[in-house]
Amino acid sequence: KQEVTQIPAALSVPEGENLVLNCSFTDSAIYNLQWFRQDPGKGLTSLLLIQSSQREQTSGRLNASLDKSSGRSTLYIAASQPGDSATYLCAAHSGGYQKVTFGTGTKLQVIP
């Protein structure tokens, strides 16, 4: 059974700081790994999708890496802004493509 853990559970940083969110998974046989952002009371917005054959993906100030062998993914946010404040979730797709397991999320607060 796939288990996905995110550390830290909460993070508060001053504006402009670079930060790293961590995601670990127990079953390395994944199809891909996806990072999402969730604002309070809202649905999930996809940020980055990394296929199992890829090492990293970049979109603007966001960079996500994937190391299947160690069961880890990181989301790097450069020059953080107050608008980045949200809960970030990672999701591992495995056990048959349609099986996705979510982490419990990291709640990020960027202080102006």
Partner 1 sequence: GAVVSQHPSWVICKSGTSVKIECRSLDFQATTMFWYRQFPKQSLMLMATSNEGSKATYEQGVEKDKFLINHASLTLSTLTVTSAHPEDSSFYICSATRDRNYGYTFGSGTRLTVV
Q: Which residues of the shown chain bind partner 1 in the complex (CB under 8 A)?
A: 31-32, 34, 36, 41-46, 49, 51, 89, 91, 93, 97-98, 100, 102-105
Q: How far is 91 from 94, CA to CA, in rounded Å?
A: 10
Query: In terms of CB distance, is 18 or 46 closer to partner 1?
Result: 46
Smallest gap from residue 46 Cβ to partner 1 (A): 6
CA Rg, the chain, in Å?
Answer: 13
Are the C-beta atoms of 36 and 59 separated by less than 8 Å? no
Smallest gap from residue 34 Cβ to partner 1 (A): 5
Are the C-beta atoms of 88 and 36 separated by less than 8 Å? yes
Query: For residue 12, how far is the Cα from the chain centroid?
Result: 16
Query: In terms of CB distance, is 10 or 20 closer to partner 1?
Result: 10
Smallest gap from residue 56 Cβ to partner 1 (A): 15
Sign of CA dihedral 33, 39, 43, 46: negative
> Whose structure tokens read 């995110």?
6
Smallest gap from residue 97 Cβ to partner 1 (A): 5
Query: In terms of CB distance, is 35 or 84 closer to partner 1?
Result: 35
